[in-house]
Amino acid sequence: MDGFDHHSEAFARNWRHEYARLRDEEPVSRTDAHGGYVVVTRYDHVKQALLNPRTFVCRREVTPKGAPEAVVGGVTIPTNPFRMGMMEMDPPDATFFRKLLVPWFSARAVEAAESHLGDLVTWCLDRVITSGRMDVVDDLANPLPALIMLDLLGLPMQNWSKYGVVLHQAAYREKGSARQIAWLQGDLRQVLTERRDHPPEISTPVDALLGAEHDGRPLPLDVAAEMVFMLLTGGIDTSTGLIAHAVCYLSAHPEQRDRLIADPELIPGAADEMLRYFSPGTGVARTAVEDTELGDAPIRAGERVFLALGSANGDPDEFAEPDRLELTREANRHLAFGAGLHRCLGAFLAKAELVLLLRETLRRMPDLHVDESGVRAYPTIPLISGFQAMPATFTPGPVVGPMSGANVPPPRAERLRRAAAELATDGAESGEEVWQPTDHEAVGGHR
């Protein structure tokens, strides 16, 4: 295969067509880009690799069977300059951290937090609703996930704007973003140092990491900071991209928007379909530790493998008419969150964010119109498909929630923070599932 490069501007402009071509012509193919890697595009093959963490590994240093030396691995191609937390770990380390964090992001935890998540949606809408205009990215799609992640992690809420902007600009490789990421990581270490020395009365995921012991030793602060950074990167700009895609689509398809306004019960299923159709995470990488096969195609030990999630979610062998966004699609077994041991930890949270945001935006801004002439998509999408700008107008409305002069929403009530900590403790003690199942592995698609 010549010319495939998921970092290229050509791929960003035409990724659906490129993936369709590969699925039809060479579903397991190879490219010379970035030192060479295998590209896997069919749903069954992608899922097979995701569910086989013993053969297709995530760690950064890999010694394949029969190889004289290690190769550089990781979950991105090329490999990130810094490790991405448990995303780039394999069992038993990945299992340890997943067991520690799953109770904070389980379906029960997200359901218990929904009232406050709704308050954050209201706060974001209230900031712009009297003006009749906004930038969907800067005023809604980026602030909401940043606020939610800092709130649920127990980090200082006043940092939401700084952290959100840094992570958003890093997603599309804004000049100077690497320096800003280094600043953010340093700031997190300072925040966690203060938290370790002065722990709060009510525990949070950050405190769970700071108090953890791994292999009989306290977890180093740098590792705890790495995990928090991973949660922020995984929880903010992927949701930013998804929200912006959803709002833009409904503006361009008013008949679909009107269906959701008339019947809000359709919104949870529509959110699953938007996750499938837009697939904000382009793909993930693995490294084969032994000779194996996907379909009839051989994979050699040591080869880097790109699992094209966006292509899997557009595979006609799995989804009828995959190039059509169908709000009421049944049995939507998408892989937008991955699958298996490394399935996105925040899968329930990301979907809840989108459902709550769509519900309130459609209710309070039913005529929202995106000015498509001002929309700027990311020039490249090696990790996330999203937007830099998306101007929109709507009929002005009233503020409905409490607002203050500060650029920070009202804090979560103590009873809700305490309930979250108790739920997480109960989940940990009851052995809450470490391997969060995909919808098609265990639970219904329209949770």
Q: Where along the chain do its domains lie?
A: 9-429
345 Cβ neighbours under 8 A, 6+ residues apart: 98, 101, 102, 105, 231, 234, 436
Q: How far apart are CA 142 and CA 238, in angstroms?
A: 10
Residue 76: CA count within 13 A, CB half-sphere: 17
Q: What is the mean pLDDT of residues 276-299?
A: 96
**CA torsion, ordered 174, 353, 95, 278, to nearest 10 deg:** -60
Q: Where are the alpha helices (DSSP H) in 57-159?
A: 93-105, 107-126, 136, 143-153
pLDDT at 190 over 80: yes
Q: Write down the mean pLDDT value for the chain.
A: 93
Kindly report, residue by residue over 379-394, the tens digit of the pLDDT: 999 999 999 999 999 9
Is 214 within 8 Å of 96 (Cβ atoms)?
A: yes
CATH class assigned to 9-429 = mainly alpha
Closest CA to 148 of 351, 336, 334: 351
Kindly report, residue by residue over 57-92, the tens digit of the pLDDT: 999 999 998 878 899 999 999 999 899 999 999 999
pLDDT at 441 over 80: no
The C-alpha angle with vertex 134 and arms to 131 and 137, in degrees rounded to 5, equals 160
What is the SS3 assignment for 402?
coil
Q: What percent of the chain has pLDDT over 90?
A: 87
Q: What share of the chain is helix, strand, coil (3-state, %, to 5)?
A: 50, 10, 40
Closest CA to 229 of 82, 49, 130, 381: 82
What is the SS3 assignment for 281?
strand
Structure tokens at 218: 């306290």
Kindly report, residue by residue over 35-47, the tens digit of the pLDDT: 999 999 999 999 9
What's the predicted TM-score (pTM) here? 0.94
Is 188 within 8 Å of 206 (Cβ atoms)?
A: no
